[in-house]
Amino acid sequence: MVKPIIYLVSDSLGETAEKVIKSALLQFGDHHEYELVREPYVDGREKINHVLMTVARERAIVGYTLVDPELREYIYERSVELDIEAIDILGPMLDAMERMFKKKPRVKPGLNHQLDEAYFKRIEAIEFAVKYDDGRDPRGIEKADIVLVGISRTSKTPLSQYLALKSFKVANVPIVPEVDPPKELFSVDPSKCIGLKINSQKLNDIRKERLKALGLKPNANYATTTRIEQELEYFETLVERLGCPVIDVSYKAVEETANIILQLQMLN
């Protein structure tokens, strides 16, 4: 027995039409009992005619997702003339939304695919932030859109993750007086680097709480005023050498600092 054929006509990739048709086919058994033929990027009457003539010859049916109302009308009229069973998958929803929103649709094919690209770009940025967190690999400095520079407990990691959700690739570099900063830090555009400074008393409180959370004594050298002042002095020397913008994160939420960084990026 010859398999029934269903043509999927789209002005983009045809993924939407395929998903809908396959969902419907499940109500009639395994979709492998049918043959699906995808016809992507159909953007004119000539292509529509070519497909419909084939559909008529093979006594198939056609499902279509076309955003252009003229093309939708044309494929409907030609299907009637050729006695073809044709299903407008997208049109009725677009028409209903046009009436509800009282505005015309953009009539731009492939927007769903563009959203997918945005999603994957965001995922890539998140993976980048994890890979190049806390100076694990200095090679990330040159690849990054933004490089965060700061001493311990200045919110470098949460900022990296927050900015990654905005699709920015972020590397962060911890600054420690006893460790030379990576040479890559001095070869990138200074406008890509953002120094994160903090009030010494605020940092002292944060570090003491961190030590408590780890079950350590709050008077460890890590949280002493002397040590913090030493780190902050070294940080100031470094960012002056880099010539990069500096943001005081002492009393700012991560979102607030991130918005300042995004504004700086827009100016570059």
Does 150 count as an annotated binding residue? Answer: yes
Does 152 count as an annotated binding residue? Answer: yes
Strand residue runs (E) in the chain: 5-10, 35-39, 61-65, 85-88, 146-150, 170-174, 193-197, 246-248
DSSP 8-state secondary structure symbol assigned to residue 89: S
How many C-beta atoms lie closer than 10 Å to residue 144's C-beta? 24
Q: Could you tell me where the DSSP H helices lie in 150-199?
A: 156-164
Does 157 count as an annotated binding residue? Answer: yes
Does 151 count as an annotated binding residue? Answer: yes
Does 154 count as an annotated binding residue? Answer: yes
Does 65 count as an annotated binding residue? Answer: no
How many C-beta atoms lie closer than 10 Å to residue 153's C-beta? 21
Spatial distance between the Cα atoms of 19 and 110, rounded to a whole number of angstroms = 15
How many C-beta atoms lie closer than 10 Å to residue 252's C-beta? 16
Does 195 count as an annotated binding residue? Answer: no
Does 12 count as an annotated binding residue? Answer: no
Residue numbers belonging to the annotated binding site for ADP: 150-157
Residue numbers belonging to the annotated binding site: 150-157
